[in-house]
Chains A and B, each alone.
Chain A
Amino acid sequence: MADKIMFRFWTITDYEEEEEFLRQQHREGWMFRKYWIPGFYFFDKCSPEDVVYRLDFDQAAKGEKAAYLQMYRDYGWEYLLDVNGFSYFRKSAKDLEENGDTEIFSDNESRLEMVKRIFRRRMLPLLAIFLCCVVPQLMIQSGLWLDGGYAASKVMTIIFLVLFAAYIGLFIHCGMGIRRLERKYKTDV
């Protein structure tokens, strides 16, 4: 078992905060080992060290994961695991000279590409579910309840109303997150 378990819940656009969180833990002597959905972080005790953590999102082409990871290894990055399409890497920050840099992207163009990938692979499927399932079901069930007076439809209407609100909340949160990242990468040098 791990020496420490922490719970943190991030959404898809919080990866920079997550990187900083893992780095801070390592500085305090907690080495990240594994992750359980929806937000359990398992740490092993270690000697405190400044280790940089970086997340890349779903970049490897199909059947090319080995070559992709080899490239990161060549650059001195240790690959940890994959969670929800994110690949986790870490590298010691101390001997930067021989280790190269602590970034996995060297320009904002590739950072923006990552935000676009997150949008395409995570937001678009959710939007599709929302528009093709949640919204029609909500209309059908509320119609059955109001016109037909079915008790079961009343329950279903409430369930889909809650889902509807949850999706809207999620879209607003992630939409704002994506905008924030885009703005940051477009103005940062």
Chain B
Amino acid sequence: MEDRIRRVYVPMTETGFYILYCLRDEMHGYNIGQKVKKMTGGEVNISPGTMYGTLSKMEKDGLIRFVREEEKRKLYHITELGWELLNIELRRIERLYKNTHSGTP
């Protein structure tokens, strides 16, 4: 993995993380937004400009790839590089959780 990619995506924003997480399944932008909203009880809201920008950036950096178009909506799917970053993030968040919930100061 390039250093640049690691610098940009580790650690990841919550928005970025959820988008990548959702794209384990093939999805388009609006669907992702709806799903994230539901998963977080409305706490994480991704607006269209931010969604479009993040998807474009992730596609350009090779974290996700464009699969097909459905009624003008672009569907994306996570790539191997995307999985790699997602796993790094998951481990980081798990560690964070464990360290703060173990009871030791």
Contact = CB atoms under 8 A, between A and B. Distances in A.
Contact of B73 (A74, A103, A113): A74
Nearest to A65: B72
B3 interface: no
Interface residues of B, number: 22
A110 B72 contact: no
A11 interface: no
A104 B50 CA distance: 7
Contact of A74 (B30, B45, B46, B49): B30
Given A71-B29, A71-B30, A75-B33, A100 B69 contact: no
A104 B56 CA distance: 16
Nearest to B29: A71
- Report the contact-size class of chain A (Cβ under 8 Å from the partner): 20 to 34
B49 A105 contact: yes
Interface in A112-150: 113-114
Interface in B22-52: 28-30, 33, 45-52
A104 B47 contact: yes
B53 interface: yes
Contacts of A109: 13, 50
A105 B50 contact: yes
B79 interface: no
A106 interface: yes
Given A107-B13, A107-B15, A113-B53, A70 B47 contact: no
B7 to A, nearest CB: 15
B48 A71 contact: yes
A43 interface: no
Interface in B47-67: 47-54, 56
Contacts of A68: 52
A59 B13 contact: no
A105 B13 CA distance: 14
Interface string A79-118: 0000000000000000000001101111101100110000
A111 to B, nearest CB: 9
B48 A110 contact: no
Given A61-B56, A67-B74, A74-B73, A106 B46 contact: yes
Interface of A: 56, 59-61, 64, 66-72, 74-75, 77, 100-101, 103-107, 109-110, 113-114
29 contacts: A59-B49, A59-B53, A60-B52, A64-B74, A67-B72, A67-B73, A70-B71, A71-B51, A71-B73, A74-B29, A74-B30, A74-B73, A75-B30, A75-B33, A75-B47, A101-B47, A104-B47, A104-B48, A104-B50, A106-B15, A106-B45, A106-B46, A106-B47, A106-B50, A107-B15, A107-B50, A109-B50, A110-B50, A113-B53
